[in-house]
Amino acid sequence: MDDLEKVHRLRQDFPILNRELAGVGTPRRLVYLDNAATTQKPRSVLDAITAYYETSNANVHRAIHTLGEEATRLYELAREKTRAFLNAEFSEEIIFTRGTTESINLVASSFCSLLNPGDEILLTEMEHHSNLVPWQMAAQRHGLVLKFIPFDPDGVLEFGKLPQLWTSRVRLLALTHTSNVLGTVNPVADFVRFAHERGVPVLVDGAQAAPHRPVDVQALDVDFYAFSSHKMLGPTGLGVLYGKKDWLEKLPPFAGGGEMIRSVTLEGFEPNVLPYKFEAGTPNIEGAVGFAAALDYLGTVGLDWIHGWEQKLTSYALEQIKRVPGLTVYGKAPDRAGVVAFSLEGVHAHDLSAYLDQSGVAVRAGHHCAHPLARKLGVISTARASFYLYNTFEEIDRWIQALEAGAKIL
Ligand code: PLP
């Protein structure tokens, strides 16, 4: 089966892609190019969630009855599938959270509570607010110093500046795997090697990478890796924190409540074993069930194929977009994901996005939760198209045609 046939077949698994939107003139078939914000869900994910509620709904790790055991088995199966997806060594290294944001907050809060005033956290200038604000909050609380690795005009991190920025007070390096604005894919393994040679752990924000290319946490040797189910065909409200067992064992619990304790007295508590120590309260069981179905789906389609297909779409888009007069594309890294941030001279990104919407084309407009990055680019906001496995060349044509029309009218 060739690529085009494969895409047209798998599109049939996504009911929402058949949606017709009212716009100018006749209704238009949806062209969904906002995948970096969230992705659409295949029927198998929707069915798995419904089946869970229709047959096995109960709380997990508590009840000694059939439904309780089934729900627990499904929840833990999701953890095992996530372990296999990342090639993590142990399933207790997989913590379920609400999303990338909560995963990073967990590490920032817990890890930084072990630090001393004056200790340093090294970040980059291209971070999403999720991998910036939690560190700023921890820095305020514990008197830490934040430092930033810059990126060059192509949107490539300046690896060569690391030795200058490094001091003996650096305690953790946190960086994004793939930029949600520039599309830059960072050479994570090189950063990890540099930090590990100096005995410092690394956290990677994988929100825009794990959905799009194979990730092997052991090969990358990362200490923490965070990502979200909803950006990879799964439901919202579920995320993952991978952490090396040794690190997770050292970190204090993040939130308190049921499930995360082994024993409690009126005076204090003893934390539970991993991974439960970090999963306080009733978890998102339906989210885990849906996420397991999403992982099955991604496994069948193949992450290597998804990566290859998105590369083809991105090259085509970057070529076609040159036709549009007055258009700027941000980010020129050689290793680039399917994210294209752009602006049209003299047109606000919100107006551009609203205009494209009239043609049924959904793109994001704004600062993409990366204020400092936008400021460095010298823009208030940009529009952004981002691709996933179900997008086609025809959809890119529809987007570019609408942009060309917009360039004339707006
Ligand atoms: N990090 C990056 C690079 C992102 O693109 C996003 C979401 O857009 C996040 C973190 C936050 O993800 P979530 O909102 O699912 O927690």
Cα 207 to ligand 1 centroid, rounded to whole Å: 5
Q: What is the DSSP letter of 255?
A: S
The CATH number assigned to the domain holding 233 equals: 3.40.640.10
268: in domain: yes
306: in domain: yes
Indicate if 324 and 402 belong to the same structural domain.
Answer: yes
Residue 379 pLDDT > 90, yes or no? no
Average pLDDT over residues 217-243: 98
| Last-in-domain residue among 265, 281, 299 | 299
* Distance (Å, whole) CA 330 – CA 198: 34
Question: Cα–chain-centroid distance for residue 345?
Answer: 30
Average pLDDT over residues 272-282: 97
Q: What is the DSSP letter of 87?
A: T
Which residue's CA is minimally distant from atom 14 of ligand 1?
Answer: 101
* Distance (Å, whole) CA 325 – CA 27: 27
Residue 32 pairs in a beta bridge with 362
Confidence of residue 1 (pLDDT cuts 50, 70, 90): confident
Q: Going by DSSP bridges, is the β-strand pair 202-205/224-228 parallel, antiparallel, or unpaired? A: parallel
pLDDT in tens, 206-225: 999 999 999 999 999 999 99
Confidence of residue 357 (pLDDT cuts 50, 70, 90): very high
Indicate if 203 and 284 belong to the same structural domain.
Answer: yes
Cα 51 to ligand 1 centroid, rounded to whole Å: 29
Ligand 1 and 100: CB distance under 6 A: yes
CA-closest candidate to residue 176, choices 100, 120, 237, 105: 100
Residue 367 pLDDT > 90, yes or no? no
pTM across the whole model: 0.97
pLDDT in tens, 176-192: 999 999 999 999 999 99
pLDDT in tens, 196-211: 999 999 999 999 999 9
* Amino acid 370: pLDDT: 83
Ligand 1 and 127: CB distance under 6 A: no
* Distance (Å, whole) CA 281 – CA 105: 17
Confidence of residue 25 (pLDDT cuts 50, 70, 90): low
Ligand 1 and 232: CB distance under 6 A: no
Ligand 1 and 101: CB distance under 6 A: yes
CA-closest candidate to residue 59, choices 75, 81, 45: 75
What amino acid is encoded at 99 in this protein?
Answer: G
Ligand 1 and 208: CB distance under 6 A: yes
Indicate if 216 and 93 belong to the same structural domain.
Answer: yes
Grouping H, G, I as helix, E, B as strand and the rest as coil, residue 408 is: helix
Indicate if 285 and 395 belong to the same structural domain.
Answer: no
Ligand 1 and 317: CB distance under 6 A: no
Indicate if 82 and 229 belong to the same structural domain.
Answer: yes
Indicate if 54 and 192 belong to the same structural domain.
Answer: yes
* Distance (Å, whole) CA 168 – CA 174: 16
* Amino acid 378: pLDDT: 86
38: in domain: no
The residue to mutate among 35, 39, 98, 101, having the most atoms of ligand 1 within 8 angstroms of its beta carbon, is 101
Indicate if 13 and 115 belong to the same structural domain.
Answer: no
Number of H helices and number of E strands within the chain? 14, 17
- Of 62-66, 138-142, 253-257, the least confident: 62-66
Sign of CA dihedral 90, 111, 95, 205: negative
Residue 300: which residues within 8 A CB-CB, separation 6 or more? none
Cα 156 to ligand 1 centroid, rounded to whole Å: 20
* Distance (Å, whole) CA 188 – CA 173: 11
- Look up the domain containing 266 and give its range: 46-299
Average pLDDT over residues 40-60: 97
* Distance (Å, whole) CA 292 – CA 76: 10
* Distance (Å, whole) CA 353 – CA 343: 10
345: in domain: yes
* Amino acid 47: pLDDT: 98
Ligand 1 and 176: CB distance under 6 A: yes
Indicate if 27 and 51 belong to the same structural domain.
Answer: no
* Amino acid 275: pLDDT: 97
| Last-in-domain residue among 264, 299, 334 | 299
Residue 156 pLDDT > 90, yes or no? yes
200: in domain: yes
pLDDT in tens, 98-121: 999 999 999 999 999 999 999 999
| Last-in-domain residue among 272, 299, 326 | 299
* Amino acid 277: pLDDT: 97
Let me know the angle formed at the C-alpha of 216 by 129 and 298, rounded to the nearest 5 degrees.
85
Average pLDDT over residues 93-97: 98
Q: What kind and span of H or E run contains 240?
A: strand 239-243
Indicate if 234 and 285 belong to the same structural domain.
Answer: yes
* Distance (Å, whole) CA 246 – CA 348: 49
40: in domain: no
Catalytic residues: 369
Confidence of residue 256 (pLDDT cuts 50, 70, 90): very high
Cα 130 to ligand 1 centroid, rounded to whole Å: 6
The residue to mutate among 38, 39, 100, having the most atoms of ligand 1 within 8 angstroms of its beta carbon, is 100
Indicate if 289 and 375 belong to the same structural domain.
Answer: no
Q: What is the DSSP letter of 185?
A: B
Average pLDDT, the chain: 96
CA-closest candidate to residue 368, choices 347, 396, 339: 339
41: in domain: no
402: in domain: yes
Ligand 1 and 228: CB distance under 6 A: yes
Indicate if 243 and 118 belong to the same structural domain.
Answer: yes
The CATH number assigned to the domain holding 320 equals: 3.90.1150.10
* Amino acid 185: pLDDT: 98
Cα 240 to ligand 1 centroid, rounded to whole Å: 12
Grouping H, G, I as helix, E, B as strand and the rest as coil, residue 52 is: helix
CA-closest candidate to residue 255, choices 150, 32, 106: 106
Average pLDDT over residues 265-282: 96
Cα 166 to ligand 1 centroid, rounded to whole Å: 27
The runs of H, that is alpha helices, within 302-370 are 303-320, 349-357
Grouping H, G, I as helix, E, B as strand and the rest as coil, residue 170 is: strand
Indicate if 218 and 308 belong to the same structural domain.
Answer: no
- Structurally, how many domains does the chain consist of? 2
